[in-house]
Each structure stands twice: as C-alpha cells, then as structure tokens.
Amino acid sequence: MTQIDAPYFHNDDEAREYLESIRWANGIVCPHCGVIGEHYRFNGTAARKGLLKCRDCRKQFTVTVGTLFERSKIGLHKWLLATYLMCSSKKGISSHQLHRTLGVTYKTAWFMTHRIREAMKDPNFMKQLGGKDAVVEADETYWGNTRSKKIDKHKGYEHKEKIFSLVERNGNVRSFHVSHVSGQTLKPILRNQVHQETRIMTDDFGGYKGVGEHFAEHSKVRHSRKEYVRGDVHTNTIEGFFSILKRGLIGTFHHVGAQHLKRYITEFDFRYNSRKMSDGERTVLALQGITGRRLMYTTPSFGRA
C-alpha cells in the first residue's frame, strides 16, 4: 500500500483517529482549559463521533477544536490528503489541481491551501540562524507580473516583488517579502535573524556594505565581475533554493499577488527545511502546526508569513 492509499486519507473516522494520535501523542489535552487526561468520550449514537467532555471545565470538544480545521464543513480526510499533497510536491500543488483531485470547488481548495500554509510556519522562527564557525548565505530575488505595472527601465526591478532569503549551509532557510531591496531593509533582518558569530556570504550588492561589522566575517563574490566561487565563498546554496522557489511560482502557481506572496514563500521554506524527512514525516510536521492558529485576512503587508 502506498502512502496515498492510507485509510485516513479516504475515511473521516480513520482521519480523526490519525489526527488524534498526532495532536495528542502525549495524552488528550482539553483545548479550553489545558488539563491533560481529565476527559471522557461520548459513545452513544446521539453524539457526533469523536466528541469528548472535560471533567475539569465541563466543556465539550473534538480533536479539531482550537485548530485550523475547527468548524470546517470539509471532510477531515480531505484536509489530511490536501496537507499530504502540499507536503509531498517539491514545487507545490496549485489550488486548481487540488480542487480537481479532492472534488471540491476551486474557492474551497484555495481556502484550504492558505490555511495549511499557516500550519507550515516555522515554530523556531525566533531562534537565530548560524553560530560559531557556521556559514549563512544571503541573497535577494524578484517575482512579479511585469505587465501589471508600467515599467520604467531606469528603475531596474523596482516594478517586481522582492524576496530576501537567508540560508544556513546544511541548515534551514528563512525568506522575507520586503518592500525594497536596500541596506535599510536587509541589514536589520540579518542582524535579527543571524547569530553574530556567523560567517556571512553575499554577492557584491552595495546594500550589504558594512555587514561585516556585526558578524564574525563578511565575504562576497563579485558577480558583477563574473566571479561565482572563490574557495568556500559563494552563494550557490541560496541560489539553488531560489531556483526551486521560482520554478514553483512560475510553473505551478503562475500568478501570486503581493498580499499572499509571503504565505507561498513560507510553504517553500517549510519543504526545504524538512527536505531530509519522508513525505509522511513532513505531513505529520505540518499537522503538528495546526493548533492555535487562525488565518486572518488584513491589508496587504510585507514581511514573514
């Protein structure tokens, strides 16, 4: 049996039991009061399946209460299958493909994918990258439909959306949707996200000038002079990540608006950071992130999803 044939991807009862084993691996926790193990199940035919009641606060709950799946009319097995498909597709899966595969509307599939991207947020985001003897590469790339705005050839890539990424060699990546590519926007992110004992590798973009004052070392390759590698100094790791990101955005999603770009790059960060896991393990990791999160739509903003 292949992974996609697993019963919890095709049956709601199996899906609920599987999600319970992930969310409550160390014992059932009441989502209302936080008490562990003080509960009982409703086993009668009148109660909906999976319903529990806390003996402490006397409130009822199921495994989806307090998660991204709460109050959803979509079958739980479809939520799990959608999560697996997003986690197992190297360059992502479009909402159009998902709506055909799951048998839901495009609007529903689009809603599901954005909720699942919320679960993919890095829980260790506040922990700095790098450290003593570690190397972090920094670089920026651009994305956008050039036809959507009038292009001024003198402003270079100003008409495109800007993505700034940091990758630790043999480690994780973090990406940010920024309003402008300049020392004023990039250097504060570097100082906040990277440990000061780290070796920093960049290209020769002028916005990185002075970065070495805050870190153990700042080395750069001079792309403007066709130099791409000098010893262990290069930005090939981050450029490899960008190649996957851009192929996914172009080939899978085609058009991504500015207000949602940060969520899409979070998805690519998640898959890169869990690249050494199997598809099943990566899916479990995403499902562990569904608790305590709600997707709130606000005015388009820049930053990390």
Tens of pLDDT, residue by residue over 250-271, are 999 988 888 899 999 999 999 9
Full residue range of the structural domain in which residue 194 is found: 135-273
Specify if 298 maps to a domain.
no
Q: Is residue 301 scored above 50 in pLDDT?
A: no
Specify if 286 maps to a domain.
no
How high is the pLDDT of residue 299?
40
How high is the pLDDT of residue 37?
87
CATH code of the domain containing 209: 3.30.420.10
Q: Is residue 178 scored above 50 in pLDDT?
A: yes
Q: Is residue 297 scored above 80 in pLDDT?
A: no
Residues 202 and 79 grouped into a single domain: no
Residues 222 and 265 grouped into a single domain: yes
How high is the pLDDT of residue 295?
59
| Joined tokens for residue 253 | 């999603």
Q: Is residue 156 scored above 60 in pLDDT?
A: no
Residues 11 and 140 grouped into a single domain: no
Region 282-301: mean pLDDT is 75
Specify if 195 maps to a domain.
yes
How high is the pLDDT of residue 254?
87
- pLDDT tens digits for 191-248? 999 999 999 999 999 999 999 999 999 999 999 899 999 999 999 999 999 999 999 9
Residues 152 and 257 grouped into a single domain: yes
Residues 145 and 89 grouped into a single domain: no
Residues 173 and 72 grouped into a single domain: no
